[in-house]
Amino acid sequence: MRSLILALVAAACCSGAIAAKSHAVRGYVKKDGTHVAPSRATDPNKSKADNYSSKGNTNPQSGKKGTKDPNK
């Protein structure tokens, strides 16, 4: 029974079931007329390390890897 529970926990962690919460960001039109498409962003918190743009993270919508240093 114990090994079954450990296997389920491991599967949940690896499948992305436990992930940073995110919210929708509405699209808008900038002053110069450029359209900015709707997207998703991580919920605000005090950590920069869990943002999609931080090194080691990948944006699930675009697949783009983060490049920013979370310690700055």
Kindly list the distances between the CA atom of residue 21 and the CA atoms of 17, 41, 45, in Å, as whole numbers in the listed order.
11, 9, 10
Q: For residue 36, what pLDDT band results from cuts at 50, 70 and 90?
A: very high
**Residues 61, 41: Cα–Cα separation, whole Å:** 10
pLDDT of 39 over the 60 cut: yes
Torsion of CA 64, 68, 71, 72, to 10 degrees: -150
pTM: 0.43
- CB-based contact 69:55 (threshold 8 Å): yes
Give residue 28's pLDDT: 97
Average pLDDT, the chain: 79
pLDDT bin (cut points 50, 70, 90) of residue 70 is: confident
